[in-house]
Structure 1
Amino acid sequence: MSIALSINLNKIALIRNSREGNFPDLKKFGQLCLDNGANGLTVHPRPDQRHIKPCDTRELALVVKYFRAQTGKNTEFNIEGNPQAAPRGDYPGLIPLALETQPDQCTLVPDSDNQKTSDHGFDLTSTASQLEPVIRRLKDNGIRVSLFMDPDIEQIRLAKEIGADRIELYTGPFAQAFEQNKAEEIFQQHGEAAQLAQSIGLGINAGHDLNVENMAMYRKLPGLQEVSIGHALTVDALLIGMKATVQRYLSVCQPG
């Protein structure tokens, strides 16, 4: 079974936000990803709007829906973020934004403003009662719900109990261990978590620091349906395309 690749556009937005204006244009990059075979787009709007903004979320939702209508492909839009983060400025909150834009999937993540990026899964022993009505509301509106989780068996059981459709396994520690040639033990933990998830009817996604090298191993995870990749993919795009880009700029710098 092929694993769906959802491309996270946060880093493209971060580059855009470092200057005034709309360059690079996220809609064009989102379209480029889809035109080249990506199975979906992921955005992670935050109250601090350090990368993806609410307006980006609305525009990219339309890009995916139009692409799907034109091609007939099962392309998906995934919004991720913290459902408990309070509205701020023109950020209306994750759930109102999701209900407005109607993504195919909403991935709930326990991040906060003081985190540069997501670095742990939910502790459902303390947050289940808060998340359960949120999950129900999203599902009642036809949105699939995934919870960002560590490979903890009991936590994954709780994810099923409160109504999640899928889990997204946090792969940061796996990626770090892979760099040190010590990934076998963590991968085994993820495998056991995935097998449990499958046995109780949860779908399985994964994300964080996955790249071309470590995916060669991680793609063997039982039942893996989707990966969300952004940071490494953006860096690889720079590396793979840098030679041709430098040469192109050199050509326009030469005498006519």
Structure 2
Amino acid sequence: MRLGVNIDHIATVREARKTYEPDPVKGALIAQDAGADQITFHLREDRRHIQDEDVLRLRCTIKRIPLNMEMAPTEEMKKIAIDVKPERVTLVPEKREEVTTEGGLDVVSMKDYLEKYIKELRKNNISVALFIDPEEDQIDASLQVGVDAVELHTGEYANASTDIKRKKELERLKKAAKYAKEKGLDVFAGHGLTYTNVQPVASIMEIEELNIGHSIIANSIFWGLEEAVRKMKKLILEARREL
């Protein structure tokens, strides 16, 4: 299983003071050297953390592993993606007032728009994934618009207030992952995953990749970023070995 390390919150700390440190590109290099399989970043419309200059510097600096650019499906973001050419774009919903992404993209209601939008990205040799809730109708719609992969939103699982609810959400993820894989899609997952809750999701055989940011960056304050990445990768690999 691959680990994508999301570096957004390195930039969040920097933007708190509008200064030059900590540098998310330096963080991406450390994560790469520590065993990350991919660098993930979200260029938001409001530029609250990652900035355009960061994106250009990431493209020039990260060479050994892929870049995964999370973005809203807007014309502005499409132009940036085509110029920068990350290995993958993951389309996500975005609201200006939200603290972080609150749910999956509603592909069902945006099918016609997304089909044209995705076609242009793929024409430019950019792989496309959709960040969706673990629901069969969203998976079916994702297949219809011509994407390569879906990333299942794990927020409901991560934020479950009881063991019963957490178990129910885990079963929902398992069912969705299996369904998507049977339909021929690559299956990824992410959102709200931590050192204490990641292994049950990592144990879902059909999921090939996890994208994790906040927990890794938060714990890097205590452990250092290199160790934080290594510990997360170790937990994921342990879960896979038990399958």
1:77 is aligned to 2:67: yes
1:180 maps to what in 2?
162
SS across alignment from 2:196? helix
* Alignment partners' CA distance in 2, 1:6 and 1:139: 21
Closer, same or farther in 2 for the Cα pair 1:193/1:112, shift >3 Å? Answer: same
Give the partner amino acid of 1:64: I
CA drift of 1:238 comes to 1.7
Contact 1:81 1:109 in 2 (8 A): yes
Alpha-carbon displacement from aligned partner over 1:53-101 (angstroms, at most 9, x marks no partner): 1111111122212xx2xxxxxx1100001013x6xxxxxx211111111
Moved over 6 A (4+): none
TM-score between both structures, scaled by the size of structure 1:
0.84
Alpha-carbon displacement from aligned partner over 1:197-246 (angstroms, at most 9, x marks no partner): 0111111111111112111111111311111111111111123359xxxx
Give the partner amino acid of 1:83: P
1:218 maps to what in 2?
201
Alpha-carbon displacement from aligned partner over 1:16-37 (angstroms, at most 9, x marks no partner): 1112431112221111111111
Aligned 1:1-256 pairs, distance under 5 A: 3-65=1-63, 68=64, 75-84=65-74, 93-177=76-160, 180-182=162-164, 183-241=166-224
Q: Percent identity?
A: 32
Contact 1:40 1:64 in 2 (8 A): no
* Alignment partners' CA distance in 2, 1:23 and 1:239: 18
TM-score between both structures, scaled by the size of structure 2:
0.88
Q: Report how many residues are paired.
A: 224
Alpha-carbon displacement from aligned partner over 1:117-154 (angstroms, at most 9, x marks no partner): 11111222211111111111111111110001001111
Larger RCO (CA within 8 A; separation ≥ 6): 2
* Alignment partners' CA distance in 2, 1:148 and 1:223: 16
* Alignment partners' CA distance in 2, 1:5 and 1:218: 12
CA drift of 1:169 comes to 0.5
Contact 1:61 1:103 in 2 (8 A): yes
Structure 2 residues without counterparts, runs of 5 or longer: 226-243
Contact 1:9 1:26 in 2 (8 A): yes
Contact 1:82 1:112 in 2 (8 A): no
* Alignment partners' CA distance in 2, 1:207 and 1:104: 18
